[in-house]
Each structure stands twice: as C-alpha cells, then as structure tokens.
Amino acid sequence: MDDVNIDNDNNNNDDVEEQQLQHEEAATDQEQERIVTTSRHLKINSVLKRKETFPLRTRNKVDVLVQEFLNKLEDDIHDMLCDNGEYDDEYRGLDCNRDTEEEVEAIVLLFPDVLTRKNQIREYQDVDAYDYDEDEEDPFDVREFYPIQSLAVKCVGFYKDFVSNVKAVSFIPLLARLAIKLDLFEEEERGGLLCQGGGNKIVYNHYNVLENLMHSDLTYRSDDACKREHHEAVDDKYLQVLIQLRKIGLLKKEDIQKYNLILKLCGEYGHFSEKRFRFLIEWDPNALLISPNFNGSRPTIQRFQTVFESGIRYFPKKKGINLLFGAGHNLHFHKSGAGNRYYPFERACTGIGYEQVMKVVEDTLIRYLDTPINVADALLSAAVDENVHLDCVYFLLRRQPDVLVKLLSSSSSASSPTTSTLVDATAAGTNDNDNHSINNVNSGDLIIRKRKRG
C-alpha cells in the first residue's frame, strides 16, 4: 500500500514539474515574440525617419507600402466596428470585456472616415422557386449600415437574422459623440443615431439606432436558466446605453413617441425587456396612450402585467383601466388584414387564458388601492369611446354595480347626452346578456361584442 502511495506522489510531482516547464517555455516564447516585434517597430520607425536618404526606387517603394499599410489598417478597423460574426472564435469585433473606450477613441480619431463608411450585407431573400429567373433576379438583397448601426444588432446566419450585439453595444455613445465632434453627419442625424438602415428592397430592419436599442433576442436556447441569463444581460446592457445617451443629450424625451420606442419594445417577439420599458415609461408615461396600428407579439403574463400595472400607476382615474380594453394600445393590440380589431383583454385571454388574465388584473388593482379608479369617469369614457371594447363597461359595472344608479341620480334634473349614451350602450349589452357577458370570455373561445351605432 505504501509503495502505491509513493508511486502516486511521484506521478503527481512529475505532472506538476511538467506543467511548470510548459508555463516557463510559453513565457519564454512570448517574451521572445515581444522582443522581435519591438525590433520590427524600431526598424520601421528608422526607415521612415531616414527615407529621404534612400535611392529613388526605395523611396517610392516605401511610399507605396505605407499607403498599402494605411489602407489595410483602415479596412480592418472598419471590419472590427461592423463585425457580424457569431460570438465564437470567428468574432473579431469590438468587445467591451477586452477593449476600452480610450483605445477605440484613439484609433477612430486617426481614421475618422470609418464612421461614415457603410458596410454591405448580402441577405438571402425568399424567392419563389417556380418564378425565379437567375438571369433576371438576384436571390440576395444588399443591406447597408453605418458602423454605429452594427453595434446595436448583428446579422448572423444564412438568412442574416438580427440578434443583440451585447459585446459592442456599449460603444454606441462613444461613436455618436466622436461623429458629432468630427462633424461627420448632418446635425439632425445625431452622430448617426438617427440614420436609417436600408437595402435594395423593402427590408425588415430599416430602423435607426434608437429603435434597434429596443431589440430583444428570440428565445432560441433550450435551457430556461440560460435564456433568462442571456435576456437579462441584453436588457441591462441596452438600458445602460439608453441612460448614457440621455445623459449626454442624444436621447430625447420626444424620441420615445416620435420613433414609437414603447411600441417596438413591446412588439418584440422575444423576451419582454422590463427594465428598458420602465425606464422609458417613467420618463414619458404618455407614451402608454398612443394608439398605433400595432402588430402585437406573443402575449405573456410578464408583459401584460407590467404594461397594465404601468397604466394604473400613471393614469389611475380612468385611462389606466381603459388601456386594458382599448383598441390600439400597447398591451398587444393588432389589426388583422380583414379589419377585425383585437383588444388587449381579448388577445391576452386568447394567448394566456381568461383566469390568469383576470388574476393579474385583480391583483394589480388590489396593489393600487391607494389610488382608486374613478369608476364613473372610466365608465362614461368606455361607453362613448368606440376604441374601447364594451367589456370595459361590464368589467366596471361588476366592480361597482351601483355606479350607474349614482350617475343617473346625479343627473336626474336633466339627462345629459353622455349619460344617455351610457344608458344606451349598457342596455344594448344587457338585453343580450346571456350571449355577451364578460364571463363568457375564456382562453379558447372569445366572444367579441360589437357596438351598435345609430
């Protein structure tokens, strides 16, 4: 037994000695390479310094080689800023874990033209195999982007899908600031932040940098923990960029609505970026109230709860609750090709389930008991607004059944047009209560109540 232990100790000692020897050899090789490189640099400096003492042919050759060197170096810098490789050994772009802002600024100041030089990406487009004529049609579409646009998203794969560029996105404020300092773009383009992407045809991604900072990756990974970690990293990185741009005045409050940033953030089919959403809504709560033609993404509990809770928080009297049932708001509204309207409540019930949706709604309202809803105003608004689903009327009446009596009694001296409209709208639904009750809404079979118009 002792002999076996002695042999094991000897083997372990031999392994340790071998590893130490390898480390020493590697250190020696690195030092030798450093010495050789330094010697080359010194020799090049000496050649350039003494060039005028050389024969004519040598002087001309030095000029040619210097120009070639500068051209290749500039090309490589541009490639680094626009790298669209995967995050593996092939990726040679900027990396915030390796490169510093000081290093990037130093090289850009020497080669400023790289910031206004576009990068071309050939993306395969779907072409009908039966109609395709290779002599007349090109199956590829050429997209062109400035380097600052490539820092927000990367085009990867054969079809050039857009994914988040987590390693390089943090350099966007620096490049924008340098471009403004060097006067490389028009003033209204803000250092390239507002330049649009483009191609030969109508392409999916024609957004500017601010819009691309709303990007979220698809849930393409199989491990849930890995997905969460990745999406949280994306949300954190992109949020920090938005904060920096705001601090230096390159992200303005009016940009949120002008470029529909909330719409694009909620419309991503990937992970819902809650941190970026809260940052933008806290800055401009009115962005919740815009009503675009929103082709909504897949509903999730997190997305629905966060947006509805924000509506109640910032607009507790009536608009917040109407967001739940209003057509065109940011809770997942979209309008189909046939012209049918899908309301947030309806779409959420379809995608998530009626019981879960109602639990989110009730739990949210309970958390905001200190800012109670003005049921009367909300009810009147829901009754007369054609963009608010009639389910809103039923929902409010169920929560406060006596509100209608109070409204009628308060206007007993004269029936106002608004109250009359409320009575008509409520009666229209009540007369057909068996078929149109909000209780009939469930996750698999939604009944859409249509307003009667005179």
**Is pLDDT at 435 greater than 50 in this prediction?**
no
Spatial distance between the Cα atoms of 361 and 325, rounded to a whole number of angstroms: 12
pLDDT band for 408, please (50, 70, 90 cuts): low
Within the chain, what is the greatest distance between any pair of CA atoms? 110
CB 449 within 8 A of CB 425: no
Arithmetic mean of pLDDT, 92-106: 94
Q: Which residue has the tokens 């904060």?
A: 243
Tokens of 433: 């209560």
Q: Kindly state whether residue 391 falls inside one of the protein's structural domains.
A: yes
Nearest to 104 by CA among 172, 182, 187, 193: 172
Q: Is the residue at 59 inside a domain? A: no
Do the domain assignments include residue 315?
yes
Provide the mean pLDDT of the chain: 74
Task: List beta partners, residue 199.
Answer: 143
Q: Can you tell me the mean pLDDT for 89-100?
A: 85
Euclidean distance between CA atoms 232 and 302, whole angstroms: 14
pLDDT in tens, 145-172: 899 998 988 876 544 567 888 999 999 9
The answer to whether position 68 is within a domain reads no
User: Which one has a higher pLDDT value, 367 or 389?
Assistant: 367
Task: Quick: pLDDT tens for 22-40.
Answer: 777 777 878 888 898 999 9
Predicted TM-score of the model (pTM): 0.72
Alpha-helical runs (H) found in 182-273: 209-212, 224-247, 253-258, 261-267
Residue numbers of the domain that contains 398? 291-454
Q: Which two tokens stand for residue 200?
A: 């030969």
Q: Is residue 145 part of a domain?
A: no
Does a structural domain hold residue 400? yes
Total structural domains within the chain: 1
Residue 252 domain-assigned (yes or no): no
67-73: average pLDDT: 97
Residue 392 lies in a domain: yes
